Structure 1
Amino acid sequence: MSTDTVARPGDPRTRSGRAARPRWADDEAVALAAVARAFFETEIVPHFERFDEQKYIEREVWHKAGALGLLCCEVPAEFGGGGGSFAHDAVVLSEQARAGDTGFGNMVHSGVVAPLLATYGNDEQRRRWLPGMATGDIIGAVAMSEPGAGSDLKNIVTRAERVADQYVLNGSKTFISNGARCDLVVVVAKTDPAAGRNGISLLALETADAPGFRRGRTLDKLGRHASDTAELFFDEVSVPVGHLVGAEGRGLEILKAELPRERLVIAITAVAAMERALEETVAYTKTREAFGGPLFSMQHVRFELAELATIVRASRVFLDDCVERFVDGTLEPATASMAKWWLTQNQTDVTDRCLQLFGGYGYMREYLISRLYVDARAQKIYGGANEVLKDHISRSL
């Protein structure tokens, strides 16, 4: 089955819920999608089992992605990136989700860390880190969540005290994507605890040969087994003042400004994954024989698929509108939150209903629908728990 990210107008696959080529995807984005599709089909999908068992994806795969121009697509060319727009990163992330992969940590690397450094870092920082991120020599992570602070970042306890030309970092982080293998981690820390929300800053830590920095266990998760997710510990870790990203005390402000991007990135993967789930299910029900004919011949099955196709199509239309508005700079934070919570909710609902139509086979890990189902659940939690986002949306009404 083809995994085209951006379907051409008139493509028969639109009958199962996929929209025609959206306005935000130009010819260059379509060509990049084809490269990404081939990459995931050859470098990731055949190795699902090994990646799941070892809980990470090898550096060699990152290097191959970098050589193909699939990393940091939006970063300006002068800093080693692809010089494209958000649309280019969007099609790469969409292809990954459609392939059924959640292990390759590019969603955080290119979707969150690289844009943050490109926007708020100074020229020295951009030239120091972004070229390596674009080639895969540097894997990026961002450390926000702590054992006692998830969606509410004001409650973090990690501290960074300025001593001469260094910040001395103390604390711990958990649920950090790319944490076990990252070379660069942007740490959210309190530099002035008395200032409350205005006392939080962002520090970029180079993890190699950093005394006092320690990686904890790679976490054993319900799904997303190949995704490198770890605990991080900081014990009197020195970070040069020159590695402060943005102004001191502006960390929460910067993160707030970047959250719509992160939430839209999650929404993009949600829609691509549910589109794939629906396509897999339509194909399965048309070939699976039961009670003297294919499952698809049963009215209940057809009606169920009709409902799912409607949900998926409506999700795609909403997403495409959000992406287009983000590209032209008009997407409001509340709408980005709507996209994240509603589309991830749809993703979990659609994959659950699709799995049911597979019967017992849907519960077998060898079937893609099983992976799509179990990997969907985390989408409603990270990037701001959906319940928290609904509260944010309500404040805008």
Structure 2
Amino acid sequence: MRNVYMTDELEAIYRQTVDFVTRRVTPMGDEWEEAGRVPRAVLREMGELGMLSLRIPAEHGGLGLGMLASATFSEALGASTYAGFDVTVLVHTDMAGPHVVNSGTPTQHAEWLPKMMSGEALLSIGVSEPDAGSDVAGIRTRAAKDGDGWRISGRKMFITNAVYGDVTIVAARTDPDDKYGITMFLVPAGTEGFEVASKLDKHGWRCSDTAELVLDDVWVPESHILGTLHRGFYETMKNFQNERMVLVGMGVGAAQRAIDMTNAYCHQRKAFGGTLFDLGAIRQRMAMNQAKIDAVRASMYHAAWMHDAGQDNVKEMSGVKAWGAEVVNQVMYDCVQFHGGMGYMRESDIERMYRDARVLSIGGGATEVMLEEVAKRS
């Protein structure tokens, strides 16, 4: 067992996922980075293997597992070394997907869950806006009742999977008198007035597509409301801990790969009559990096266990997100440093992994926001 929270089932999920990304993702990652997208065929292959069904209830054909499964899955994805691939999958399975599972009607479940599990339909979650990222209550996109449906107008920013995806879960203000009066809507790609204003050019996560979206008087029927009218803010908050966790999880997986790669490089890199690993300053710093990642991993799994045990884990998971994302970035910094000049070259894996890690302390709740969540509960 890799840790005390692991079961045989979770161990099998971890091994299957690491095997898959090692065989099917890492060899093709550079090509996907250049193209700026992950091929849908790969996602469908994951669907056939059941990898997109971990959190789907058994009554709908999924495995019906809990947050510990997502922690395991996200860490294993990190072994790919291509975080853009990891986030493409995790936005679908663990950021957007849970909204459909938790808030969908039987009709919505019947329409979307099979497509989500097979990889036929790729989901995105449209909450962030140019002036509202972590501040969900500050969104300006609005929806007004129109006949037997709703008209939505506004802009969304930094929406992963929305360029090539099939449906976006859009948060819009439906009660102008209540700052929390937000509703979630299912908006399929191709809906009239719903357009990708631009495909964003990112510092990292190059093989994930990220969009700026425009909703220009978009009409959707009443049946496309996801969840309870005016309660979307609270429904969104319920999933934030899972979103924060999988970002940390993929970071932990990537950081472990970076540590292993750097230790191997330092063992073979000749310097000063020996190898770099012979230098105490380097091997002790790498040992400290390993200790830090082990601690982040343990904290993440514990916070996930709390959720699965029915306990409130907001303080714990917010702390893991704040500290864990910063630690991953620190580890990546050292790994680039100890690769020397090669660490600065685009041909090295560690250079890409360093860029990919930077957004972890921003996305899913910036470090400063997470620390406020901890402080409010201290």
Q: TM-score range by the shorter chain?
A: over 0.9
User: Which position in structure 2 is the counterpart of 1:183?
Assistant: 166
SS at match of 2:177: helix
Residue-by-residue CA offset, 1:257-299 (whole Å, 9 max, x unaligned): 2111111111212222221111111111111111221111112
Q: Give 1:81's aligned residue.
A: 62
- CA-CA distance at 1:160 after TM superposition: 0.7
Amino acid at match of 2:195: R
Is the CA contact (8 Å cut-off) linking 2:70 and 2:94 kept in structure 1?
Answer: yes
Give the structure 2 partner of residue 295 of structure 1: 276
The answer to whether the 8 Å contact 1:81/1:130 transfers is no
Partner of 1:206: 188
Query: 1:305 is matched by which residue type in structure 2?
Result: M
How far did residue 144 of structure 1 move?
0.7
* Equivalent residue in structure 2 for 1:163, among 146, 149, 153: 146
For structure 1, which segment, 52-61 or 83-92, has the greater mean C-alpha deviation from structure 2 after superposition? 83-92
SS at match of 1:344: helix
TM-score if structure 2 supplies the norm length? Answer: 0.96
Q: How many residues align?
A: 376
Counterparts of 1:394 and 1:86, CA distance in 2: 24
Q: For residues 346-365 of structure 1, what are the structure 2 equivalents within 5 Å? A: 346-365=327-346
Between the aligned partners of 2:289 and 2:136, the Cα distance in structure 1 is 36
Taking the aligned partners of 2:175 and 2:312, their CA distance within structure 1 comes to 32
Could you say what secondary structure the match of 2:155 adopts? strand
What residue number does 1:135 align with? 118
The alignment partner of 2:65 has SS state of: coil
Residue ranges of structure 2 left out of the alignment (5+ in a row): none
Query: Is the aligned partner of 1:112 residue 2:103?
Result: no
Contact 1:191 1:249 in 2 (8 A): yes
Q: Over aligned residue pairs, what C-alpha RMSD do you find?
A: 1.4
How far residue 307 of structure 1 moved from its aligned partner, in angstroms, is: 1.8
Amino acid at match of 1:329: G
Q: Give how far 1:106 is off.
A: 1.3
1:72–1:114: 8 Å Cα contact kept in structure 2? no
Residue 271 of structure 1 corresponds to which residue in structure 2?
A: 252
Partner of residue 313 from structure 1, selected from 290, 294, 312? 294
- SS of residue paired to 1:384: coil
Residue 128 of structure 2 aligns with which residue?
A: 145
Question: What is the Cα deviation at residue 193 of structure 1?
Answer: 1.4
Structure-1 separation of matches of 2:328 and 2:277: 22
How far apart, in 1, do the equivalents of 2:33 and 2:51 lie? 22
Which is worse superposed, 26-35 or 179-188?
Answer: 26-35
- Whether contact under 8 Å (1:266, 1:379) holds in the other structure is yes
Question: 2:84·2:204 contact (CA, 8 Å) conserved in 1?
Answer: no
Amino acid of the structure 2 residue aligned with 1:204: L
2:67–2:242 CA contact under 8 A, matched in 1 = no
- Looking at structure 1, the residues matched to 148 and 246 of structure 2 have their Cα atoms a distance apart, in angstroms, of 36
What is aligned with 1:13? none
CA contact (8 A) 1:55 1:218 kept: no
Further displaced range: 23-32 or 356-365: 23-32
Q: Are the structure 2 counterparts of residues 241 and 119 from structure 1 closer, same or farther at C-alpha, using a change threshold of 3 Å? A: same
Deviates more, 1:238-247 or 1:338-347: 238-247
Q: Is the CA contact (8 Å cut-off) linking 1:24 and 1:323 kept in structure 2?
A: no
Taking the aligned partners of 1:334 and 1:303, their CA distance within structure 2 comes to 32
Letter in 1 for 2:151: V
Letter of the structure 2 residue corresponding to residue 183 of structure 1 = D
Alignment of 1:363-382 (within 5 A): 363-382=344-363
1-side partners of 2:310 and 2:352: how far apart?
Answer: 35
Partner of 1:16 in structure 2?
A: none
Letter in 2 for 1:242: S
- Deviation per CA, 1:64-110: give whole Å up to 9, x if none: 11011111311013323233333333322212112212222111110
Quote the offset at 1:63 in angstroms.
0.6
Partner of 1:196: helix, strand, or coil? coil
1:163 maps to amino acid: D
Shift of 1:331: 4.0
Native 8 Å contact 2:67 2:305 kept in 1: no
Residues of 1 paired with 2:61 and 2:288: CA distance?
A: 45
Q: In 1, Cα distance between the equivalents of 2:50 and 2:71?
A: 13
Judge conservation of contact 1:183–1:206 (CA < 8 Å) in 2.
Answer: yes
Task: Report the Cα distance in structure 2 between the residues aligned to 1:302 and 1:129, rounded to whole angstroms.
Answer: 50
Percent identical pairs in the alignment equals 33
What displacement does 1:356 show?
A: 0.5
